Structure 1
Amino acid sequence: MWTPTPSEPSPTRRILIVGLLSGLSLALALLENALPLPAPGVKPGLANAVSLLALLLYGPRTAWSVLAVRLLLAGLFSGNLFALGCSVAGGMAAMTVMTLLVRGAAGEVSPPVVSAAGAVTHNGAQLLFVVALLGSRALLAYLPLLVVSGLASGLAVGFLAEWTAKRLDRIRRESMP
Structure 2
Amino acid sequence: MKKLMLTTTLALSLMLLCCAPALAADPVKTLSGDITLAQAQKILAAALKKAEAIKVPMNIAIVDAGGNLKAFYRQEDAFIGSIDISIKKAVTARYFNMSTRTLGSVSQVGQPLYGIEASNDGLILFAGGVLLVDANNVIIGAIGVSGGSVDEDESVAMAGAAAIK
> TM over 0.5: same fold?
no
Q: Write 1 or 2 for the structure with the bigger share of helix.
A: 1
Q: Write 1 or 2 for the structure with the bigger share of strand.
A: 2
TM-score using structure 2 length:
0.37
- Whichever of the two has the greater Rg, that structure is 2
TM-score using structure 1 length:
0.35
